[in-house]
Structure 1
Amino acid sequence: MPDQLFTDMLRDTRDLTWAPTEQVRRRGRQRTRRTRIVAGLAGVVAVAVVAAGAVAFAGGPDPAPPIPPATGSPTPTPSPTPSTAPSATGSPTPTGSPSTEGTPSSPPKTSGRPTGGSTDRSIPAAAMLQLADLPAGFRNSGSDLDGDWTLESVTIYCAGRSPSITPGEVARRGATFDSPTSSMIERVTRHSGGNAATAMDRVRDLVTGCRPERAGDSLSIVATGLAGDESLMVASSISGHQSHWLFVRQGDLVAQVWLAEQPSPDEAKPYARKVANRLCAGTPSC
């Protein structure tokens, strides 16, 4: 008895028309080529996918995160408040503009000046001796005060303390006069506070405290009260050379005058008075 499987196959294929052998072979070859092409394309795609993944893994930029949708209107930026806006307590002074309320029209006067002192610390030329105050034949030879003509210069011949006679000095001025037979030098100094009176005290201390180092030398006060607020006349004898100085104070000014001649106190008094009168041009204390 034939196998049932073959019986079924015979029944199903009894009426089929079979293609020629050559045609079946050609179709088989075409199917084989299509299968190879599809497989090749699949390999190319797989390689491209792997390469793209490698590039991304090697440090490619991350995609930007999506922007979330807006949930409302943005908050407006507040406008700056003007610096001159009025406050609860009143209108303030605008920023950067200093208040001028109560500003004096002129700077305040310097404090610490002596009572009756000059408001100008410079010494005017009118406060110095003039040619009209001197005997005929003198001429003005300038204001150079160089040289060892002052009382301070003789202190090198004295033992003991020699205090400064220009305490609190704030200004000075000089004048020199010459004649064919004589000469005269004046130095006027202005002193702060009460230092002009102190300067006169220092002159007295210097003279009375001097102890001449050589026998025969001397330094002494030979007259006082010649003119002005204070005055004195000093005489020295150093190695046989005679010198005389007049010291006159008016207010905060002190004049020291060297006399080449050797006048007596009475002869020196007219000079002292002229010095005092001229000093009044530089101080309101007269």
Structure 2
Amino acid sequence: MPDPIFSDLYRDTEHLVWPPTEQVRRRGRQRARRIQLAAGLAAAVAVGVVASGVALARPDAAPPPVPPATVVPTPPKPTQAPTPSSTPSAEPSESGSPTPSRTTGRPPGTTGGETGRAPTRTIPAAAMLQLADLPTGFTMTTKVEGDWSLESVTIYCENESPALNAGQVASRSVQFDSPSDWIVERVTRHSGTSADTVMKRVRQLVTGCRPTRPEDSLSIMAESLGGDDAVLVGGDMGTPARWVVVRQGDLVAQLRVDHQTTPSEARRVVGWVVNRLCAGTDTC
């Protein structure tokens, strides 16, 4: 009985077609050459790696020479002569030796006067009336309440009145009381030429008012009372009242004074007001 292994082998190769002997030999020779070529390449790579390692490990191996760098000379910067506006000029001092002087000028935006003070959006307390300006018996408070201003009586005018806050940037008020009298002052600061506009509007407000009641009245009682501009306004819009409006520079002061104040008395009040306003403007 044949061996099972050989039986299986015979069964698997019974119908197998074997190539010719010469073809098998040729394939063998080709495989042998490929193996030899691969071995040669591997040997060459190994030799190259070893040689490179030896060259890197040699401390005396000199690096390749570096070509010299080309340096382009930088031309010198031209010197600029100082302009006359930035060069201090020499002026003789009292001792006779020249001393450097600096051109002085007012910063942009300053208001007039010799101090060159920068414009401000505040009103100092020194620009307000003081107790020392008034007769004895008055007290002062900065808590001003109630409708006392000239604008407040325009509700009794049929026509629309112009606003008196043109260009206003600051405001400050003070009130003085006595047993028989009271005075209220409001000082406002205005930008540009708006203070002059306010004075024009004061006159328009007074002369243009058409009272809703026949018995009411409002009028300019006196002008040119001092400062850059000042007027005394009198009215009886249900209650007799007097107002003094003064402009000095960019400041406008409006005061509610006694309802019997005369033009001569108003001129004296304007003098007090202008002296104080000069502490808040350079136009005095």
Relative to structure 2, which stretch is displaced further, 248-257 or 159-168? Answer: 159-168
User: 2: distance between equivalents of 1:41 and 1:259?
Assistant: 137
- Work out the CA distance in 1 between the residues paired with 2:146 and 2:265: 26
1:73-132: CA deviations, max 9, x gaps?
xxxxxxxxxxxxx9x7999xxxxxxxxxxxxxxxx9564x65558622211000000000
Structure-1 residue corresponding to 2:140: 140
Q: Distance in 2 between matches of 1:40 and 1:202?
A: 130
Does the CA-based 8 Å contact 1:118-1:282 persist in structure 2? no
Q: Using a 3 Å threshold, how does the CA distance of structure 1 residues 149 and 118 change in structure 2: closer, same or farther?
A: farther
Q: Superposition RMSD on alpha carbons, in Å?
A: 2.9
Secondary structure, in 3 states, of the residue corresponding to 1:122? coil
The answer to whether 1:196 aligns with 2:167 is no
Displacement of 1:165 in angstroms is 1.5
Separation of aligned partners in 2, 1:204 and 1:256: 13
| 1:235 and 1:245 in contact (8 A); partners too | yes
Structure 1 residue 33 corresponds to structure 2 residue 4? yes
Residue deviations 1:118-154, cap 9 Å, x none? Answer: 622211000000000111111112243x321010011
Q: From the superposition, tell whether residues 202 and 220 of structure 1 become closer, same or farther in structure 2 (CA, over 3 Å).
A: same
Task: Tell whether the 8 Å contact from 2:137 to 2:178 is kept in structure 1 after alignment.
Answer: yes
Query: Alignment partner of 1:180: what SS?
Result: coil
Deviations 1:243-283 (A, max 9, x none): 11001111110000011442111122211110011000000
Inter-CA distance 273–39: structure 2 relative to 1 (3 Å threshold): farther
Change (3 A) 1:32 1:202: same
Report the TM-score when normalising by structure 2: 0.62
**CA 1:89/1:152 → structure 2, altered by over 3 Å: closer, same or farther?**
farther
Q: Which runs of 5+ in 1 are unaligned?
A: 1-28, 43-68, 70-85, 92-107
Larger Rg: 1
SS of 1:207's equivalent? helix
Q: What aligned pairs does 1:66-145 form with structure 2 within 5 A after superposition?
A: 111=109, 115=112, 119-144=119-144
- The partner residue of 1:273 within 268, 271, 274 is 271
Q: How far apart in 1 are the matches of 2:163 and 2:121?
A: 20
Aligned counterparts of 1:261 and 1:203: Cα–Cα separation in 2: 18
Structure 1 letter corresponding to 2:184: I
What residue in structure 2 maps to residue 152 of structure 1?
151
Inter-CA distance 119–160: structure 2 relative to 1 (3 Å threshold):
same
1:118·1:284 contact (CA, 8 Å) conserved in 2? no
**2:255 maps to 1:257:** yes
Report the AA paired with residue 278 of structure 1. Answer: R
The percent of aligned pairs where both chains have the same amino acid is 48
Correspondence list, 1:226-245, <5 A: 226-239=225-238, 241-245=239-243
Aligned length: 196
Amino acid at match of 1:131: L
Q: 1:199 to 1:39 in 2, by over 3 A?
A: farther
- Distance in 2 of aligned mates of 1:237 and 1:35: 145
8 A contact 1:182–1:261 mirrored in 2: no
TM-score by length of 1: 0.62
Change (3 A) 1:132 1:255: same
Map of 1:21 onto structure 2: none
